[in-house]
Structure 1
């Protein structure tokens, strides 16, 4: 059975490590001064599709340099710091530090796909007259996340990212960065301290601890990350981005009670945040509150314009609620729209297994293998307790013969 956990690619804890890397460079940069800004144009739908295909291909094939170039996050940071009135030297130093902090980001995205995840185009659409490509991230555990990438075309014809709306954070990447950059800069320039609010001063004081937490999460040291989080002032423990870090740590520990506790805190502190539906699905799923799971998934599905992965997640919840006919119709709809969607086949086969309809299980296993949505073999099925009854049947013998001929 698939889970509803969210995918954390380019999430807040990733941004935290990026910003924490923005230290002072050893010497001023000798790079040439920037050229005059050029007026961007609206890329065509074909150009948007080509860009998204290139990004998906780079992540899937592990082409780190291309992922780094296509994301262009350093350019977004450059535009953010333009508003802070920094000198040219200060800006160059800051961007050098940011580049060091960015080193892990392409690796993180590539690693999720290597572990069984998927990063792909969901749709091309326009918002406020701007072209966007909505990219969907499916984690190795079936969790889902979205990056709504705003594209522009430069006068030379090159298409690049202008900004990214990150559903997990509930805002654009540039907005997330602005929240974080100014407090960090006070470590380098105490003259900026007077510009900070009380909350920002507390943030600045604990930035090193927060950077350590994000690194702990990346290295699988979830217990250490949670201990550091709980040592922070209450105000920071109630900060949206830091709570996302804590939820990721609790999720990594498989500490269901701790994970639920952090989800409840997030729900209480940010009841109207755009990211809440993506977060809270897990909470209601764990609590077996199927009605709220369905509502949250439906709201999220409408927000992204429809997604077969969310239909598969809804189907999984419908199975748990014993609404089998609805689940069957929904996951088969998901397979029709996206024929190689692994999670949809998993739910559909779980329905057949639950009904002990072995012929049906055989049919859907074959379809999943033919579309490359599934990589099942007879040995792996024997090791899976969900197939304990199926492997005793003639349908399983038929599957083995079919696999042997492929």
Structure 2
């Protein structure tokens, strides 16, 4: 397929589908978070988090002294929880966020967002509730790629912090928690090695942990992240071990998208996408199915998948890029221009600059009457707005 290197536009999102019945206050909160994250403001997660409820979850059953608990609570109430920065970066730049659904699980409202970034695809589930004044708030957060709620990971962070300060009541600990305290020096060494980009040494230290600790989900995830930067074969073996330990975890289907063992295995990839779609109901996954079909040279099937993605989420631009590439490759210049015009409409009339990979099909499109007419309309539009002429697409 002829790839387009980039398209620059700002497409608005259409309203997401919602389950019913959901209190309008929770729908409003979810949409507020989506809009703020799309604008590059991850601090909205901290601002709308109910810190007291989250603190109760983080400290529940934490075997620490009352002094440490009071100190921790005071620090949190003064400084808040910087979770947005931890999850999405300091500025939240380069993220494309989409609210997919707000639904009820029993009496608990949950909002699910798709997060697309340079590092790939992730989903963020927000557990919603009400604060003491009855206002809708975030109670907890579950990033799919973390494999657990943030309250669970923060519980472990504060357990180790308490142990370092001599505030951990180890006589109350049993099982993995006790082992974590006993292995604290090794874990801190792993963190230092990882922070210094000594990933191989960090993996070796992880493998020296006691067997029960090595079986913990977050340990296996930490190992997988390190292996992903080291060795494809070892990463694939790590994925197999994770699947054996956690056979129905949604992380497996996200990992499948980057699993080197599944590259070229379209049937396995399709099954992974289908399982993930049943959980998240995300139109973007139709785009990924289209990519799989395209890799099989089933171009008609790929087109149908790309079009279905756009039908369900007109704000997606990746399927349009793929369809545009196919139209250029098939010399459907009129169809390619219709796609460009549709992108303009979705972008609210914003100007676009298109860069196309060099090749005979690309050259033919750039020299076509259809493309030249579209480019002239772009130039005229920019001239009316008082801007400079639109440059023609560069062909490297």
| 1:279-328 Cα deviation digits (max 9, x unpaired) | 12321685211101100100110012x11111111111111122222221
| 1:55-91 Cα deviation digits (max 9, x unpaired) | 2233233445434212456752443213225444311
* Residues 145 and 404 of structure 1: CA distance in aligned 2, closer, same or farther (over 3 Å): same
* Residues 383 and 88 of structure 1: CA distance in aligned 2, closer, same or farther (over 3 Å): farther
Give yes or no for the alignment of 1:276 onto 2:252: yes
Give yes or no for the alignment of 1:343 onto 2:318: yes
| 1:357-391 Cα deviation digits (max 9, x unpaired) | 33322222322233139988446336799945533
Counterpart of 2:141 in 1: which secondary structure?
strand
Match of 1:153 among 120, 127, 130: 130
| 1:99-157 Cα deviation digits (max 9, x unpaired) | 87954742752558522x2123111111022111112211235x322222121123423
In the other structure, the counterpart of 1:316 is 291
In the other structure, the counterpart of 1:5 is none
Report the Cα offset of residue 349 of structure 1: 2.4
CA distance in 2 between partners of 1:239 and 1:388 (Å) = 54
* Residues 108 and 234 of structure 1: CA distance in aligned 2, closer, same or farther (over 3 Å): same
Give yes or no for the alignment of 1:365 onto 2:340: yes
In the other structure, the counterpart of 1:352 is 327
CA distance in 2 between partners of 1:210 and 1:294 (Å) = 36
CA distance in 2 between partners of 1:255 and 1:321 (Å) = 27
In the other structure, the counterpart of 2:116 is 138
* Residues 376 and 200 of structure 1: CA distance in aligned 2, closer, same or farther (over 3 Å): farther
CA distance in 1 between partners of 2:359 and 2:138 (Å) = 43
CA distance in 1 between partners of 2:132 and 2:378 (Å) = 53
Q: How many residues align?
A: 356
In the other structure, the counterpart of 2:265 is 289
Unaligned runs of 5+ in 2: 5-20, 382-396
Counterpart of 1:137 in 2: which secondary structure?
strand
CA distance in 1 between partners of 2:222 and 2:349 (Å) = 32
* Residues 53 and 385 of structure 1: CA distance in aligned 2, closer, same or farther (over 3 Å): farther
RCO greater where, 1 or 2, for CA within 8 Å and sep 6 or more? 2
CA contact (8 A) 1:152 1:161 kept: yes
Give yes or no for the alignment of 1:76 onto 2:50: no
CA distance in 2 between partners of 1:85 and 1:402 (Å) = 68
* Residues 124 and 104 of structure 1: CA distance in aligned 2, closer, same or farther (over 3 Å): closer
Counterpart of 1:341 in 2: which secondary structure?
coil
Match of 1:207 among 170, 187, 190: 187
Match of 1:118 among 96, 103, 123: 96
Deviates more, 1:353-362 or 1:317-326: 353-362
Match of 2:67 among 71, 76, 89: 89
Deviates more, 1:75-84 or 1:146-155: 75-84
CA distance in 2 between partners of 1:166 and 1:65 (Å) = 16
Give yes or no for the alignment of 1:229 onto 2:229: no
CA distance in 2 between partners of 1:231 and 1:385 (Å) = 53
CA distance in 2 between partners of 1:387 and 1:72 (Å) = 53
CA contact (8 A) 2:102 2:112 kept: yes
* Residues 395 and 264 of structure 1: CA distance in aligned 2, closer, same or farther (over 3 Å): farther
CA distance in 1 between partners of 2:363 and 2:222 (Å) = 38
Report the Cα offset of residue 201 of structure 1: 4.1
CA RMSD of aligned residues (A): 3.7
Deviates more, 1:242-251 or 1:99-108: 99-108
Counterpart of 2:318 in 1: which secondary structure?
helix
CA distance in 2 between partners of 1:260 and 1:112 (Å) = 33
In the other structure, the counterpart of 1:45 is 23
TM-score, scaled relative to structure 1:
0.73
CA distance in 2 between partners of 1:205 and 1:73 (Å) = 30
* Residues 303 and 44 of structure 1: CA distance in aligned 2, closer, same or farther (over 3 Å): closer
